Amino acid sequence: VWIYFRGWRIIGRIISIVISLIILRGGYKVTRNAWLILMESVPQHLDTDQIMADIKNIDGILDVHEFHLWSITTEHYSLSAHVVLDKKYEGDDYQAIDQVSSLLKEKYGIAHSTLQIENLQLNPLDEPYFDKLT
């Protein structure tokens, strides 16, 4: 209409460029998110050091290592870690793991976690890492 009545032939080109920029911006976001998921990157809004500190604050947990956190989709995350239980811990091992799983789900939105229990008394591995914990 503007082209017909006003003779603004350039308006069609300007509108085309604006629409192209909007599509390009949306395409960039989708491509970037797909790239981050395919590369199994750590979600940017989650602080791994804080998550590990929160896990260590749970009663009976001495340390966390072999900690891996990655994106499955833009809103779903997965975590795997080894959790070292204190040899003085008197509760059920799986109760401690359940507390960790609940923390991850409720505070950080990490619904899928794989946690391996390690007990200093039962650990047959002779790793220097465990010397500092005993």
The overall pTM is greater than 0.85: no
Per residue, the 3-state secondary structure of the chain, as one string, reads: CHHHHHCCCHHHHHHHHHHHHHHHHHHHHHHHHHHHHHCCCCCCCCCHHHHHHHHHCCCCEEEEEEEEEEECCCCCEEEEEEEEECCCCCCCHHHHHHHHHHHHHHHHCCCEEEEEEEECCCCCCCCHHHHCCC
Say whether pLDDT at 107 is over 90.
yes
Question: In which band, very low, low, confident or very high, does the pLDDT at 14 lie, cut at 50, 70 and 90?
Answer: confident
Which CATH fold topology does 48-131 show?
A: Alpha-Beta Plaits (3.30.70)
- Tens digit of each residue's pLDDT (9 = 90 or more) over 48-100: 999 999 999 998 898 899 999 998 888 889 999 999 888 777 788 889 899 99
Higher model confidence: residue 81 or residue 41? Answer: 81
